[in-house]
Amino acid sequence: MQDLVDRVNAEGYAIVRGFLPPSDMAEIGREVDRMYEEGLKHHATYRDRNLLFEVLNDPKAKRRVVLQAHWTAWISPLLERQRRDLRYLDVLAPFLGPDIKQIAQQLHWKPPGAKYTFYRFHQDARFRESPNTGDQSMRGSVTAGLAIDRQTVANGALRIIPKSHTRGYLGLSDDGPIMVGETQDEELRRAGLDPASVVTCEMEPGDLLLWTLFTVHGSAPNESSYDRRFMINSYVRAAASDRGEWVFRNGVSTPLGDQPEICKYEQLRERPGPFYIETGWTQEGRDGTAL
């Protein structure tokens, strides 16, 4: 595991091959499909505290799709256990120590045929409080992406720029939504990054990709006929964060409590939901065009 820390420190990412075996992945895959069906019950994006289903009438696929679900641990006992599985502790403890909280729990789909299945290049610090500070709390953080489907060039596997995490916050994609308009090479060059250095992280189901808050990453659209299901968990050193849900306390796996903790969105204190978000970030939604 020390080798893993060295690789993430040096390159800004690393892949743990075979993190979970096929039997676990089959069970997780079935549950993630169930979450997709749960999301489709909503006519638009739905939020209830940290739980979120990003639901879109996709203009290209001409059907309702679910792109993301956040904090399904609140409605799925299996995914609640998964996020704090002790196999995560083995990977995370060398980075974060024995007291670990979770800031993000996300399922991502890239439904075949849909328009919005790419992510512009960015650093996840964008989604945290004050990305420009680059303080210590930013370093006490690791994000883990679990491949549920095989991740390929064709279905839009995550793409990473090695060593980009050493460059501080670069402001990539800060001018608009993360899923509208693919990143042009020019935007990378302006930030001093070489588009030719992009690595596509191809993975088998059960592989785990680790990256940092400053690692530049994005992903291409799904051009294949199969889905690209990906589970993202972001973990922080508990002492460095007053936010997030406990995952491991002194190395002991800790379930969710009675009430959710604020993870990212301060507004939830005022407006916890449940509510629908009818107009979204899509080009069509922003133009006011009916889908």
Which residues lie near ligand AKG (CB under 6 A)? 108, 119, 124, 158, 217, 219, 230
Listed ranges 81-89, 117-125, 236-244, 275-283: which one lies at the site for Fe ion (CB under 5 A): 117-125
Task: Give the C-alpha separation, 3 to 159, whole Å.
Answer: 22
Least separation, in Å, of the C-beta of 8 and ligand AKG? 16
Residue pair 178/67 in contact by the 8 Å Cβ criterion: no
Beta strands in the chain (DSSP E): 13-16, 45-48, 51-58, 63-70, 100-108, 119-122, 141-147, 158-160, 199-200, 208-211, 217-219, 230-237, 245-249, 252-253, 275-277
Residue pair 24/79 in contact by the 8 Å Cβ criterion: no
Least separation, in Å, of the C-beta of 87 and ligand AKG? 22
Structure tokens at 287: 């133009």
Least separation, in Å, of the C-beta of 287 and ligand AKG? 24
Residue 54 binds Fe ion, judged by CB under 5 A: no
Structure tokens at 19: 């993190």
Task: Give the C-alpha separation, 9 to 87, whole Å.
Answer: 21
Residue span 67-106 as binding mask against Fe ion, x where in contact by CB under 5 A, dash where not: ----------------------------------------
In the complex with ligand AKG, the residue whose CB is nearer, 99 or 117, is 117
82 binds, among Fe ion, ligand AKG, none (CB under 5 to 8 A by kind): none
Residue 124 binds Fe ion, judged by CB under 5 A: yes
Listed ranges 13-21, 122-130, 162-170, 234-242: which one lies at the site for Fe ion (CB under 5 A): 122-130
Residue 138 binds Fe ion, judged by CB under 5 A: no
Given the rule CB under 5 A, which residues bind Fe ion? 124
